Amino acid sequence: MDKKHGLFSKSNSRRSRSKSPVRSVSPIIIRRRKGRYVTQPDRHMSEMLAPVREGPDPDGEDSGSSGDYSRFERRWYNWMKCQLPVAPPSLSSSSDFKRTDLRLLLGVLGAPLGPVHVSALDLLPHLSIKNTPMETSSAQYILQQYTAASGGQKLHSSVQNGYVMGRIRTMASEFETGSKGSKSKNNSSKSVESGGFVLWHMNPDMWYMELVLGGSKVLAGCDGKLVWRHTPWLGPHAAKGPVRPLRRALQGLDPRTTAYMFANARCIGEKKIDGEDCFILKLCADPATLKARSEGASETIRHTLFGYFSQKTGLLVHLEDSQLTRIQNNGGEAVYWETTINSYLEDYKPVEGIMIAHSGRSVATLLRFGDMSSGHNTKTTMQEAWVIDEIAFNVPGLSIDCFIPPSELRFDSHVEDLSQGPKIRTLHGHKNG
């Protein structure tokens, strides 16, 4: 593989032999040797990454300081699993912000999920013009072109599992605070964090990812029934709502899942992305999914995904999603949190006949607003760049045992309707959302 220059000029040659605290069965590690892949059983995928700290920050505080935030917002930060698993950054000092900076990066860009449930068992809708709205039939045609450009339906269907390893670099570039009649910026926290990730997926609807960044590790996975995450500051926890794919897989790494994700989308127009004419497909999470993801004082109002497909190549070149959450404070005004992630997919190359984006970048914006009584608004901007080093399909020896959730979480077998979200019980008898 050619050496990368510029942002990823330094290669990470260190390997760790530490095991994940929540895994007992490990997938097979693949390494490229002399142009071929060699399987190495009984070694954990974390061997591909640098040594990490499994416990909380040495500083001690595990959720930041309270500041002007209500306890409902702090609770929401703790259990909003697919959004931010951290407390809001303290505005009292730059050191407090730096301490929570990495957690914000990991919470927003680490392992977000797609807006709706999709399954590898689903079928793409047939192109239909009669009695079909123009925006719907146009979207179906665009998806057919995308499927053909990325390898074809037959080749996609032949993939039963896959493995991806890549490097990432992230930076929280700007932190803005606003109050009545005033506005300030904090650009002091511009430290760049480097790391890497490994991602495994298997039909139907199973995936597992380990991501290491700045000495901390985030684990996330799905066994087809339950989506879960594990962070050093929260431990294992289950995601609210139905089973959904990992957003990172939609960033040019899994064309089949991407096509299924946009199966019910609408074509809303055209736009130039980096000088390239693109069709825009829009997908909105349905009310049942949004309701399943809401709990208590927190309500997920909307989650919208936009896909920009090149008119020249047919491939997905830009992905944008926006998620809005409402927090109702006890006896106070509601506060809103909006997360927007824009991802640019680049360097498409064929892997066993399937077109895969081998690099890209994301810009995420986290906006807090709506508390008119205090006039306290915040805006945080984060950036990520990634490069894919290895990818393979139909890995021998990969089994469903590799996707077993942590032992601390147990799926309620009496719940079968995934559209309303699985009910999760921990060993302590509490429900996680």
Residue 178's pLDDT band, with cuts at 50, 70 and 90, is low
For 297-317, how does the pLDDT look when each residue is reduced to its tens digit (9 = 90+)?
889 999 999 999 999 999 999
CB 264 within 8 A of CB 308: no
pLDDT (0 to 100) of residue 330: 78
pLDDT (0 to 100) of residue 35: 35
Nearest in space to 71 (alpha carbons), one of 238, 233, 295, 297: 297
Per-residue pLDDT at 59 exceeds 50: no
Higher pLDDT: 411 or 184? It is 184
pLDDT (0 to 100) of residue 189: 53
d(CA 361, CA 359): 7
Per-residue pLDDT at 77 exceeds 60: no
Q: How many helices (H) and strands (E) does the chain have?
A: 7, 18
Per-residue pLDDT at 376 exceeds 60: yes
Per residue, the 3-state secondary structure of 216-271, as one string, reads EEEEEEEECCCEEEEECCCEEEECCCCCCCEHHHHCCCCHHHHHHHCCCCEEEEEE
Q: What is the mean pLDDT of residues 408-415?
A: 48
Residue 76's pLDDT band, with cuts at 50, 70 and 90, is very low
d(CA 177, CA 112): 25
Residue 107's pLDDT band, with cuts at 50, 70 and 90, is confident
pLDDT (0 to 100) of residue 53: 34
Higher pLDDT: 258 or 45? It is 258
Per-residue pLDDT at 339 exceeds 70: yes
pLDDT (0 to 100) of residue 132: 76
As a whole-number percent, the residues of the chain with pLDDT over 70 amount to: 64
**Can you name the residues that pair with 321 across neighbouring β-strands?**
305, 341
3-state SS class at 202: strand
Residue 417's pLDDT band, with cuts at 50, 70 and 90, is very low
pLDDT (0 to 100) of residue 111: 92
d(CA 66, CA 70): 8
> Which DSSP letter does residue 431 get?
B
As a whole-number percent, the residues of the chain with pLDDT over 90 amount to: 48
For 3-29, how does the pLDDT look when each residue is reduced to its tens digit (9 = 90+)?
443 444 443 433 333 333 334 334 444
Nearest in space to 323 (alpha carbons), one of 285, 267, 375: 285
Q: Is the dihedral of CA 272, 276, 281, 282 positive or negative?
A: negative
Higher pLDDT: 188 or 33? It is 188
Q: What is the mean pLDDT of residues 147-170?
A: 95
d(CA 164, CA 354): 13
pLDDT (0 to 100) of residue 373: 61
For 207-222, how does the pLDDT look when each residue is reduced to its tens digit (9 = 90+)?
999 999 988 899 999 9
- In residues, how long is the chain? 433
d(CA 106, CA 77): 13
Mean residue pLDDT of the chain comes to 75
Long-range contacts of the stretch 266-271 (C-beta < 8 A, 24+): 266/133, 266/135, 266/136, 266/139, 267/135, 267/136, 267/138, 267/139, 267/142, 268/135, 270/311, 271/308
pLDDT (0 to 100) of residue 51: 35
Higher pLDDT: 333 or 344? It is 344
DSSP strands (E only) in 285-429: 298-310, 316-328, 334-351, 354-369, 377-393, 409-411, 424-426
Per-residue pLDDT at 75 exceeds 70: no
3-state SS class at 333: coil
- Those residues whose C-beta lies under 8 Å from the C-beta of residue 140, and which sit 6 or more positions away, are 125, 126, 127, 128, 132
